[in-house]
Structure 1
Amino acid sequence: MKKAIIIWILLHLTALAGVTGKLAGKVTDAVTGEPLLGANIVLQGTSFGAASDINGNYTVLNIPPGNYTVKVTYLGYEPVILSDVRIIVDQTTLLNFSLSSQSIQVGEIVVTAKAPLIQKDLTSSKSVISREDIEALPVATFTELLSLQAGVIGSGSNLHIRGGRSNEVAYLIDGMYVKDPLLGGLATQINNDAIQEMSLLSGTYNAEYGNALSGVVNIVTRDGSDKFSGKLEARTSEFGVKKYSDLHQNRINGSLEGPVIPGHLRFFISGETDNRGSYLPFGYNRNQTV
């Protein structure tokens, strides 16, 4: 029984690694510069938040990647709202707030946050592909997304990062390694619709990652939403040119998301089927992912 509990804890700790980001900073008085104790920092629309300590410092941990609106409130001070705050996997987003004393009742102040030019806590070369980037780029698979990044060449599961071998790349999905134990390459596929954010680490990546020499590909999947929505997409290469070649491709992918218990439990499911012609006797190479 004790061994089973230890294994369960280790599995859950592994799943939490590398799939969330952190928000940190300091809250001070805009006039005196003194730290404010007990200021409330909340990510609107979520359950994430924190309170500043005696030195005005605050930290919000385990935030899923994405864009958020951050609201800071303190008794006797005007509330401040920062929109489009980007949270990135394995990275600390620094936001400092200066609150002004509230002498009259005025509307909330909305400020658009800008990313710093230099990330002081980043020790590796990192490329981040957000959900917005995935929807904008004309690519069919996430390996095609990777091949567009600087220092990456190859196709399919045979990707080479900065001149390294394809079996020297580590792949993680929601903190779990999905590396082929025999050949060392990618052991599975994932539909683009299921990806919330993907990051590529190359060079001197952090010590929390191992089993890699060339780079680390870290994928975070989507959580779903509180509204029902779906998507269906079909791609084909058969446009009346079959008489010139027997090789063709038909790809269908789709996704569905929505609430199970509104405000508490959500679901997201996606799938893909890819049929390609070949010269093999049975006629097709067929891949399916869910």
Structure 2
Amino acid sequence: MEDRFAGIREFVAAIDGGSFTAAAETLAVTGSAVGKSISRLEARLGVQLLHRTTRRISLTTEGEAYLGSCRRILEELDQTEAFLSTGHQLPIGRVRVELPTTFGRRHIMPTLLNLSLRYEQLDLSITLQDRAVDMVGEGIDLAIRIGALGDYPDLVARQLGEQRLVICASPAYIKRRGVPKDRAELAKHDCLIGWRRSARPNWLINNGKGHGEWFEVPVRHELTDGDALLEACLSGCGLAQLPNWLASKGLATGRLLPVLPELSGVVMPIHVVWQKTRHLQPKVKIIVDELVRMASENPAAFNAT
């Protein structure tokens, strides 16, 4: 019977090492043996997984799609073998995590790095971006999402807390341009925005009925990083809508002033999201459990205070 797993370790090791030679050193075989194993794998699949030149190897489109599945198979196998040998569900393997840029950097990264120090076989691949991607299609194991979640049957979510949006400006900007009296007067002001959720530059404002609605604003500067957006606001470049955890220090010290408070206060939930599987892998479970614990012990980081 043909071995369906033959060549998979060699394929992954070659990509991780960047060459057949590096893979051979990792697996304690010859480079020729690695190359032959991958060639037999390609022949069995009927597709080319790698582009080969005398200097380097690279993935084909089919190879990119196959690599994610191969990694998950090997990681689950390693996880199971570790459990059988130790009797404990240890977090082993690589976890692919997607985080919002500024919130992830400030509030989630320290926890993830501490976990990686506590569990030496827990490896992390972390992407910081505010654009939500297809977790299943991109092979993302776990993500932090801010805002309303769509209906995704392949995902599981747990709410960690929420953030509240506030409109603010620096005293220098207010002195130079004045305070808008209502939302119509925003058209006369310089507005700063972060990452766009749609083609139009919008803020999510309070509609006075307990709900948020998208309101188009004129944009002076567009900054896709939260810390850069905060810095531009502090520097007097315009009005900005910021989450409370980002604006709180500036508001407390007077470096920022609240503007149009009746339009502020829209609450956005913060969730940890992971792929739905029959059995939650220990490497993902340990992160979910730690984030839930941190949210309960440090509510200021996850709640609209």
State the structure with bigger RCO (CA 8 A, min sep 6), 1 or 2. 2
TM-score, normalised with respect to structure 1? 0.26
TM-score, normalised with respect to structure 2? 0.25
Q: Which has the higher helix share?
A: 2
Q: Which has the higher strand share?
A: 1
- Structure ID, larger Rg: 2
